[in-house]
Each structure stands twice: as structure tokens, then as C-alpha cells.
């Protein structure tokens, strides 16, 4: 399945970056690198929130349900707004909205460092979520525009920055925030400020690129990878993809919010050491994300989707029944295999819905955030009622949803 199959110039949107001109040259590696760096900084800021949950739990006397609600507010804010932002920017691209989104995360980060009440923590989480809602759909569009037709590679490079930022957050929290307290979170505003600067430069390139596409694009429509599918089949396929996203991010929520508590409670691991083990898992996630896109470019999206969701099942089933050493070892293939799905799913959906790059990015990133938030809230309540070990015993079966990938159509090249 060749990636350029979905090339299209929409007469209602002549600057649509999914058009032929987007694939006419080699990837803009500097822009992809800048997007990856800004994604790293953006998700580094965001990952501080769950990374300091042990500190907040102690300082504010929170239970697991209240911790889950913080994640729920953050991720649901992002999930509800992202498709709206993506749908709007499909028609009216906003080059400098990327920097504006980072500014919202900056305000949320500062508020998090100053919060003295639980309500302020929820407000800070909401502002960080708003930043994500603005950042992800438009950044995904710019990545595709800079891809030179290597859409999987571009999405992997873009997304691996976010995974790296998410991985570094717990590590920095362990060595900066835990020893110095909640107020030290403010130091990470420097990362948000750097992100605003990088994204302002990306916005200038994006604006110039849009102007060039508008002046050269012609109002004609080319065949797309999903053009031969009936509308009902397209809707059903999107539903399957969202089900796969559900299985991935609901399971991931058990790690991002509760893995440190699991290690502390079951194995008596110190907080700082638990954060390092979380960093190891998130580093594996970053590696898997980087591999998933290029493998999809080479062998097709469907095999990657199928293998990455269902292939992780033996490892998740074993995880709740092993000792500390094997727990840490098993998280590496779990993170790598599971993470390789997202670039392939996103590009597959872009192939399926050409001309709706922002909507696809907003819908899938937003749904991922929403499922992560819902998972954090529900799993927190489950942990309060039945114990943290039960969470991982139940979540071990989520990858079985990967069987639904068998019903995905093979998009023609």
C-alpha cells in the first residue's frame, strides 16, 4: 500500500496540505525535527502532572479516585476540543495556533506550581489539556505537509518527540520535583517558553508553505485510497480504529497514572526508583513509536496495526504474575509493541479520509486523550475498591480487542 495514494486537492480548500504538492519533494527534515522537539517540550510539560501524583497524593491527602479525576479533567478537555480544532483548521489553517497552545500549557504549569487547593489542580489540568487540544491537530497537519510523501516516517518523527517528553517527565520529576517540592514545577516553564519559540518559527514556515500551495494548487480531485469504499464501510472502519485506540490508551493509562503506585505497593520500591522504572517503560514507548511509521511505509499499515495491538497480549497476560525484575523486563516489549500502532493508525485514517487531516488528527489524538482520561478515572476507582494489583490483572486482556483489526479493509495503493 503506497502512502501517496490519498493525494488530493480539495477545491473547497485549495491549501489542503494533503495535496500533490505535499508529496512533491523530499521530507522537510528541519521542520520535522522542530515539530518533534516542540512535541517533546509540550509533552514533557504535560507529563509532569501524572509524574508528581505521589507528591500531590501526600500533600493534598488525595485518594486514587481524586487522582483519576485530575487526569480525567486534563485528558477529556483535550479530547473534546481536539476534533473541533481539527475540523475548523481543515478550512482555516492557523499557523501560529501551535505557539498559542503551548502558551496555554505554560499558564497551566505555573498554576500547578502555585496550587494550594484541589480545585486549582483541576483548573491547571484543564489549561494543560486546552494546550494539547490546540497543539496536536495542527502539528499533525504540519508533519504531513513536511513529509514529502513519507507519511508514516513523518508521523513517527513527530510522535516520538511526544513520547520522549512523556518519558523524561517522570525522570525529571524524580530528581527535581520530588526533592524540592511542588513549587519547583515552575522551573519547567522554561521548557514551555522554549516550545513557544520553536513553534513560532514553525508557524512562519507553515504560513509561507500555505501561501505557496494556495498560489499553485489547482481545483481538481485525484483518486484517494478510501474513495472506492462506501460511506457505511468508512464509518465502520473508523469505529474499528477507535476501538483499537481505546484498547491501547486504556491500557496505557494504567501505566501513566498507576504504575509507580503498583511498584511501590507490590514490591516496596522507593518513589524515585519507581519513577526510573516508569521512564524505562516510556522510553520503550518512544522507541516503538519511532519504528511503527517507517515499518508501515514499507509493509503497509494494516499488518503493523494488527501485530502491534494483538502481539502485545502474551506480555500483558504475564505481567501481573511475575516478580519485580520480570515486571521491569516485560514493560519494554509491552511499550515498544503497543506504541508502534499509533503512527500506522493515524496514517491509515488519513488515507481513509483524505482532505480531513486536521479532523483525523483531532479525532484520533482527542479520542486517545479521552480514553486515557476515562481509563485513569475508572481504574483509580477500581484500585480504591479492589486494590492496585487487580487493575493490571484486568487490563491484561484489553489487547484482545486487537482481533477487530481483521475487519479493516486493505486500502488500495
Whether this prediction's pTM lies above 0.75 is answered by no
The angle at the Cα of 195, spanning 26 to 248, to the nearest 5 degrees, equals 75
Q: Coil, helix or strand for 81? A: helix
Q: Where are the beta strands (DSSP E) in 199-335?
A: none
Domains of the chain, CATH where assigned: 22-216+229-407 (1.20.1250.20)
Per-residue pLDDT of the chain (413 residues; tens, 9 = 90+): 333 333 333 333 434 444 443 444 566 889 999 999 998 888 888 777 877 888 888 888 888 788 878 878 887 787 778 888 888 877 788 888 889 989 998 998 889 888 888 989 999 989 988 888 888 888 888 888 888 878 888 888 888 888 778 778 777 777 888 788 788 888 888 888 999 999 999 999 998 888 877 666 544 444 455 556 788 888 899 999 988 888 888 888 888 778 988 999 999 999 888 888 988 898 888 888 888 888 888 887 888 888 887 789 999 999 999 999 999 999 999 999 988 888 888 888 888 887 777 788 778 877 877 777 778 778 888 888 888 888 899 999 998 888 888 888 877 54
Q: H/E element holding 98? A: helix 97-114
Calculate Rg over the CA atoms of the chain. Answer: 20
Separation CA 78–CA 60 (nearest Å): 25
Specify whether the CB–CB gap between 19 and 7 falls below 8 A: yes
Separation CA 66–CA 291 (nearest Å): 36
Q: For residue 10, list its beta bridge partners.
A: 13
Query: With the C-alpha atoms ordered 106, 112, 118, 119, is the resulting torsion angle positive or negative?
Result: negative
Query: With the C-alpha atoms ordered 210, 212, 214, 219, is the resulting torsion angle positive or negative?
Result: negative
Residue 258, all three cell numbers:
498507576
Q: H/E element holding 205? A: helix 189-216
Q: Coil, helix or strand for 10? A: strand
Separation CA 280–CA 266 (nearest Å): 18
Exposure pattern of 107-124 as b/e (b: 16+ CB <10 Å)? Answer: bbbbbbbebeeeeebbbb
Amino acid at each position: 500500500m503506497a502512502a501517496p495514494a490519498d493525494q488530493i486537492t480539495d477545491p473547497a480548500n485549495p491549501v489542503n496540505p494533503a495535496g500533490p504538492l505535499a508529496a512533491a519533494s523530499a521530507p522537510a527534515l528541519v521542520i520535522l525535527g522542530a515539530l518533534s522537539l516542540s512535541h517533546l517540550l509540550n509533552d514533557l510539560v504535560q507529563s509532569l502532572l501524572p509524574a508528581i501524583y505521589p507528591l500531590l497524593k501526600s500533600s493534598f491527602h488525595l485518594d486514587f479516585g481524586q487522582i483519576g479525576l485530575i487526569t480525567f479533567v486534563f485528558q477529556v478537555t483535550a479530547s473534546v476540543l481536539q476534533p473541533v480544532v481539527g475540523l475548523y483548521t481543515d478550512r482555516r489553517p492557523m499557523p501560529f495556533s501551535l505557539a498559542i497552545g503551548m502558551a496555554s500549557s505554560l499558564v497551566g504549569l505555573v498554576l500547578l506550581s502555585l496550587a494550594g487547593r484541589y480545585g486549582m489542580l483541576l483548573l491547571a489540568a484543564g489549561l494543560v489539556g486546552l494546550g494539547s487540544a490546540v497543539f496536536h491537530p495542527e502539528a499533525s497537519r504540519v508533519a504531513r505537509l513536511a513529509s514529502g510523501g513519507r507519511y508514516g516516517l513523518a508521523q513517527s518523527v513527530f510522535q516520538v518527540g511526544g513520547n520522549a517528553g512523556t518519558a523524561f517527565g517522570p525522570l525529571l520529576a524524580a530528581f527535581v520535583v520530588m526533592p524540592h517540592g511542588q513549587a519547583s514545577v515552575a522551573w519547567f516553564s522554561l521548557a514551555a517558553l522554549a516550545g513557544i519559540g520553536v513553534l513560532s518559527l514553525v508557524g512562519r514556515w507553515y504560513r509561507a508553505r500555505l501561501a505557496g500551495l494556495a498560489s499553485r494548487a489547482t481545483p481538481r480531485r485525484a483518486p484517494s485510497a478510501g474513495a472506492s469504499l462506501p460511506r457505511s464501510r468508512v464509518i465502520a472502519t473508523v469505529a474499528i480504529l477507535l476501538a483499537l485506540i481505546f484498547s491501547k490508551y486504556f491500557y496505557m493509562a494504567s501505566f501513566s497514572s498507576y504504575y509507580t503506585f503498583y511498584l511501590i505497593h507490590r514490591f516496596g520500591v522507593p518513589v524515585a526508583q519507581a519513577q526510573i522504572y516508569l521512564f524505562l517503560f516510556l522510553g520503550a514507548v518512544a522507541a516503538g513509536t519511532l519504528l511503527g511509521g517507517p515499518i508501515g511505509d514499507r509493509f503497509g499499515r494494516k499488518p503493523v496495526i494488527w501485530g502491534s495491538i494483538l502481539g502485545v497480549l502474551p506480555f500483558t497476560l504475564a505481567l501481573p504474575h511475575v516478580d519485580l525484575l520480570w515486571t521491569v523486563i516485560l514493560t519494554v516489549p509491552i511499550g515498544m509493541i503497543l506504541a508502534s500502532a499509533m503512527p500506522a493508525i493515524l496514517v491509515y485514517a488519513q488515507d481513509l479520509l483524505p482532505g480531513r487531516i486536521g479532523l483525523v488528527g483531532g479525532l484520533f489524538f482527542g479520542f486517545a486523550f479521552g480514553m486515557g482520561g476515562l481509563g485513569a478515572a475508572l481504574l483509580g476507582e477500581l484500585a480504591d475498591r479492589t486494590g492496585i494489583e487487580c487493575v493490571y490483572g484486568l487490563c491484561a486482556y484489553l489487547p484482545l480487542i486487537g482481533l477487530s483489526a481483521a475487519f479493516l479493509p486493505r486500502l488500495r495503493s
